[in-house]
Structure 1
Amino acid sequence: MTTDRATFTLDGHDVPFREGQSVLDAALAAGLFIPFLCHKPGYEAHGSCRVCMVRVGGKWQTSCTTPAAAGLDVESNTEDLVAMRRDLVQFLFAEGNHFCPSCEASGSCTLQAVGYELGVTTPHYPPFWPTRPLDASHPEVILDLNRCILCELCVRASANVDGKSVFALSGRGPTKHLVVSAESGRLGDTSFSADDAAAHVCPVGVFLPRGQGFRTPLGARKFDVEPLRIAALRRAEGT
Structure 2
Amino acid sequence: MSEILAQFMLDGHRIAFEPGQTILQAALAAGIYIPHLCAHPEFTPHGSCKLCTVMVNGRNGSACTIKAMPGQDVLSDNPDLNSRRRTLLQMLFAEGNHFCPGCEKSGNCQLQALAYDLEMFDPHFAQFFPAREADGTHPEAFLDFNRCIMCELCVRASRDVDGKNVFAIAGRGRDTHIIVNSPSGKLGDSAFSIHDKAAQVCPVGAILPKEVGFVRPIGERLYDHDTIAEVALREEAGARSGEVT
Query: Percent same amino acid at aligned positions?
Result: 52
TM-score (norm 1): 0.97
Q: Distance in 2 between matches of 1:69 and 1:197?
A: 32
The more displaced of 154-163 and 229-238 is 229-238
Q: Which residue of 1 aligns with 2:20?
A: 20
Q: Distance in 1 between matches of 2:183 and 2:177?
A: 16
C-alpha displacement of 1:5: 6.5
Q: Which residue of 2 aligns with 1:9?
A: 9
What is the identity, as a one-letter code, of the residue corresponding to 1:184? S
Q: Which residue of 2 aligns with 1:236?
A: 236
Maintained 8 Å contact 2:91/2:123: no
Q: Distance in 2 between matches of 1:80 and 1:12?
A: 16
C-alpha displacement of 1:52: 0.2
Q: Which residue of 1 aligns with 2:103?
A: 103
Q: Distance in 2 between matches of 1:176 and 1:60?
A: 25
Q: What pairs with 1:206-221 in structure 2 (closer than 5 Å)?
A: 206-221=206-221
C-alpha displacement of 1:201: 0.3
What is the identity, as a one-letter code, of the residue corresponding to 1:6? A
Q: Distance in 2 between matches of 1:236 and 1:193?
A: 27
Query: Which ranges in structure 1 are unaligned for 5 or more consecutive residues?
Result: none
Q: Distance in 2 between matches of 1:4 and 1:59?
A: 25
Q: What pairs with 1:54-73 in structure 2 (closer than 5 Å)?
A: 54-73=54-73
Q: Distance in 1 between matches of 2:148 and 2:95?
A: 10
Is 1:160 the equivalent of 2:173? no
Q: Distance in 1 between matches of 2:206 and 2:5?
A: 41
C-alpha displacement of 1:166: 0.3
Deviation per CA, 1:141-161, whole angstroms, max 9, x where unpaired?
A: 010111100000000000000
The more displaced of 3-12 and 78-87 is 3-12
Is 1:39 the equivalent of 2:35? no
Q: Distance in 2 between matches of 1:67 and 1:194?
A: 34
3-state SS in 1 of match to 2:179: strand
Q: Distance in 2 between matches of 1:60 and 1:236?
A: 25
Deviation per CA, 1:128-183, whole angstroms, max 9, x where unpaired?
A: 00011110110110101111000000000000000000000101111000000112
Q: Which residue of 2 aligns with 1:196?
A: 196
TM-score (norm 2): 0.94
Q: Distance in 2 between matches of 1:177 and 1:121?
A: 27
Q: Which residue of 2 aligns with 1:74?
A: 74
C-alpha displacement of 1:124: 1.1
3-state SS in 1 of match to 2:14: strand
Maintained 8 Å contact 2:5/2:70: no
3-state SS in 2 of match to 1:82: helix
CA RMSD of aligned residues (A): 1.1
Maintained 8 Å contact 1:5/1:17: no
3-state SS in 1 of match to 2:168: strand
Maintained 8 Å contact 1:107/1:222: yes
Q: Which residue of 2 aligns with 1:126?
A: 126
C-alpha displacement of 1:4: 4.7
Q: Distance in 2 between matches of 1:92 and 1:46?
A: 17
C-alpha displacement of 1:30: 0.6
What is the identity, as a one-letter code, of the residue corresponding to 2:18? R
3-state SS in 2 of match to 1:183: coil
What is the identity, as a one-letter code, of the residue corresponding to 2:46? H
